[in-house]
Chains A and B, each alone.
Chain A
Amino acid sequence: MPVTTLAGHQIHVDAEGFLTDPAEWDEDLARVLAEQIGLTLTDEHMAAVRFLRADFATQGETATLRRISTVGGIPIKQLFALFPQKPAKKIAYVAGLPKPHGCV
């Protein structure tokens, strides 16, 4: 696994830049990751990211958009507005989690 340093955070990432160890993540790093893909995080972004983290901790899988919407209560339309074009992938990236398997 390649090791990279992002704004002072040393992290392990896969070929696409997704964190391979969710434990290396914190909310400060989330902001740095978001900048990498051109996003500035707001509270609304963080609500989705925090849901994904909490859900991953219990399920062991990255939630799909449908799950974020039905279980996390954030409408899919809003997810597309917050994380344009590829919300499932982008939220997972910012949350330091693997891609959801729907898009593997």
Chain B
Amino acid sequence: MQKRLLVLGAGTAGTMIANKLRRRLDVGTWDITIVDRDDVHPYQPGYLFLPFGTYSPKQVTRSRHRFLPDHVDFVIGEVDVIDPAASKVTLVGGRELPYDYLVIASGTSPRPDQTPGMLGAEWRRSIFDFFTLDGSMALAEALRHFDHGRLVVHIADMPIKCPVAPLEFTFLADAWLRKQGLRDRVELVYVTPLPGAFTKPIASERLGSMLDDRKIVVEADFLVEHIDPETKTLVSYDEREIPFDLLVTIPINMGADFVARSGLGDELNYVAVDKHTLLSKVWPNIFAVGDASDIPASKAGSVAHFAVDIFVDNFLEHVAGKPMTGSFDGHANCFIESGDGKGLLIDFNYDTEPLPGSYPVPYIGPMKLLKETRANHLGKLAFRWIYWNILLPGRRMPVPTLMSMAGKTVPTTTSSTPSPTD
């Protein structure tokens, strides 16, 4: 009898898996089905550029089926529930999809409904998100009419999709306002639940000083409880208040609701998996890959890409009844746009924070790590082509899957001794 692999989600992780596994699993023995709710594949890193008019919507979306190979069944439908005990998925409307192996690759989404007051009268009037196509386009329109006041960039809570994106937005907004001759009339504030600009100390210090240089005020350790749309104010759990004229917020991010309905999710609907194999901690025939899992790595296409490389070989071993020998290390690398045609690059994993150095070739680059260069910016722009043409079709990328220490420098000086209350 044919074996059935079912993939939920045709985004970055799901599409790469369908492509790579279709080449490795015999068509005569394995059926592969992939489900998504629509046929629009967004290039999500491009959302960052839409508000500033750098990209148009046409450049950041393609149809999903275009990136799926022959002999993969693409089903458009909304997942209702997974029944792991019966190994079947039910779609809204009642269609049932039985499986032998299931990959949950349904990602994470901004949830403005989770913060009281966010979806009130000011939503998409003075409160905007930019990690959706609609939100990003609405923000582009709002920026065109914004000529003075307090622009607040805000992160509701971690983890979020692409943790560097709010910083990039802030840098790009600063550069864009300068270009419009409006920077003197706008107060830029960066509000974060983290103790500083980023999650890891060395990068946080570097990025923090870049915010200082640009006269961007950082409000750290701010966990929003609600937004008052009447007074246009962010209010934190410890009763601090931050007023805004224009708020660009990253709402709480959560995994798909069907994960929760199926009893597979944690408090943010992420699937509990082993962080090295991505196999469910409960079910031996369910994996979660990409943003849908609870691994302690950045929620980013870059992590999905490196994780899929490890996952594919592991999956083949697993279905052959062998132990999985690949171990994902949490590897991520991200370009960080810093405005004025420059950018930074960071490269890190579960155990090693972003460090200065060169990438991908030690000492040569051409990219420089944790340093603003034009090459990094060009790398970021070039990546859109790479994403559509190399990454999604599952072709080999000329970079190592596991993080390498070659070409990285560990700074020797550490600042003052940290304490648990820093």
Contacts and interface: CB of A to CB of B under 8 A. Distances in A.
A73 B419 CA distance: 28
B94 interface: no
Q: Pick from B159, B268, B272, B420 the residue with the most CB of A within 10 Å.
A: B420
A104 B200 contact: yes
Contact of A16 (B266, B296, B418): B418
Contact of A103 (B194, B272, B421): B194
B238 interface: yes
A37 interface: yes
Given A76-B237, A86-B195, A103-B194, A16 B267 contact: no
Contacts of A86: 195, 221, 421
22 contacts: A15-B417, A16-B420, A17-B420, A36-B420, A37-B420, A61-B296, A65-B223, A66-B157, A66-B267, A66-B268, A67-B266, A76-B223, A76-B225, A80-B238, A85-B221, A89-B420, A93-B420, A101-B296, A102-B159, A103-B158, A103-B195, A104-B296
A90 interface: yes
A14 to B, nearest CB: 10
A103 B159 CA distance: 9
B268 A16 contact: no
A64 B160 CA distance: 14
Interface in B237-279: 237-238, 266-268, 272
A41 B272 CA distance: 33
Contacts of B193: 102
A104 B422 CA distance: 12
Question: Main secondary structure on chain B at its contact with chain A?
Answer: loop
Given A76-B223, A80-B237, A86-B221, A71 B267 contact: yes
Please give me the 10 A-B residue pairs with the lowest Cβ-Cβ distance, nearest first. Answer: A93-B420, A101-B296, A102-B158, A80-B237, A80-B238, A70-B267, A16-B418, A67-B267, A77-B237, A37-B421
Nearest to B158: A102
Nearest to B236: A80
A18 B419 CA distance: 9
Interface string A55-94: 0000101001111001100001101110011100110010
Contact of B225 (A16, A71, A77, A89): A77
Interface residues of B, number: 24
B199 interface: yes
Contacts of A59: 272
Contacts of B418: 15-16
Nearest to A69: B267
Interface of B: 157-159, 193-195, 199-200, 221, 223, 225, 237-238, 266-268, 272, 296, 417-422
Contacts of B419: 16-17, 37
A85 B422 CA distance: 10
A100 to B, nearest CB: 9
A86 B223 CA distance: 10
Contacts of B200: 104
Nearest to A38: B421
A39 to B, nearest CB: 10
Nearest to B266: A67
Interface string A2-26: 0000000000000111100000000
B336 to A, nearest CB: 19
Q: Pick from B194, B199, B418, B421 the residue with the most CB of A within 10 Å.
A: B421
Given A67-B266, A104-B296, A18 B420 contact: yes
Contacts of B267: 64, 66-67, 70-71
